Amino acid sequence: MAAAKTKMAAPVAEVKNGSHPLPWLNLVVTEPFYLFHLLMFFSYFVVRSSAVQDFSPDLSLHLLRREIQAVLTLSVLTAVKFVREETWEAFIADILFYSKVFLFAVTLVIDYHVAFCYSVAFVVIFVLTQQPPYDGVGESSHLTPLQLETLFAEGNSSRFWLVEFRVLCSSTCIRTSRIFSDLSIIYSNKNISFGIVDLGHFPNAAENFGISLSGPHPTYILYENAVEVSRFPDINIDSKAFRPAITKSILCQHFELDKRLIEYISS
């Protein structure tokens, strides 16, 4: 319930903080990933209206039943994902995936050639576009590997640094891109700072932090006085066999963020 309330409040906060009065509409129009998907879904109504003219009454009724089944199933999945997912990015990614599956299934009723064309179109969209990550940073700082190493070398920054090493070509990093920013707003203080390093721009620097580009992403590392004290997921985890879930509660528990915040307030 709390997660749902957070999601509902997020667009309102973005409207207040952003300059555009309709941020979601602006995002759909300006981002090719969302725009192309929207055009593909709306094109179905044009294809359908043209195709049903040659359908028999029985086939038209069969198509209508399949459409109703698809809409009802998608509605149920949407409700479930709205409650379970912590970020809008993950929620939208899942709903778009389900919508494409149902669209393909329904177009098979019309004609398998139409279904094939939609499949090709979605593959082209997948190749040419990418879902945009959450662009807010909260109280975190975007850093290059050199800037992070310089902060550690100078030794005049926060005692703790929690750093997210992400690769934005990874779908997991996009789905979880909002989580770290939200945590930084709650837990950032003079004792602990939050930083984001995009290793996709600096692949050669990954080994310096003990991170494999072929491993699970993102990787979170907690530093105390420039020395690593904890990371998530653990470096010994077999990335091919197990990819741990990334949620706010798991990160808070793993890095003891609540405990560190209480200690800071008490000091």
Identify the pLDDT of residue 267.
Answer: 78
CB 161 within 8 A of CB 193: yes
178-224 per-position pLDDT tens digit? 999 999 999 999 999 999 999 988 988 888 898 988 777 899 999 99
> Between 144 and 239, whose confidence is greater?
144
pLDDT average, residue stretch 99-123? 96
Domains and CATH numbers, the chain: 2-128 (no CATH), 141-266 (3.40.30.10)
More confident call, 238 vs 1: 238
**Residue 28 pLDDT > 50:** yes
Angstrom distances, CA of residue 148 to CA of 9, 145, 208: 33, 5, 11
Q: Lowest mean pLDDT: which of 16-20, 77-81, 143-147?
A: 16-20
Per-residue pLDDT at 194: 95
> Which of 212, 202, 220, 221 is closest to 240 using CA atoms?
212
Summarize pLDDT for 62-106 with one digit per residue, the tens: 999 999 999 999 999 999 999 999 999 999 999 999 999 999 999
Q: Are strands 192-198 and 219-224 parallel, antiparallel or unpaired?
A: unpaired
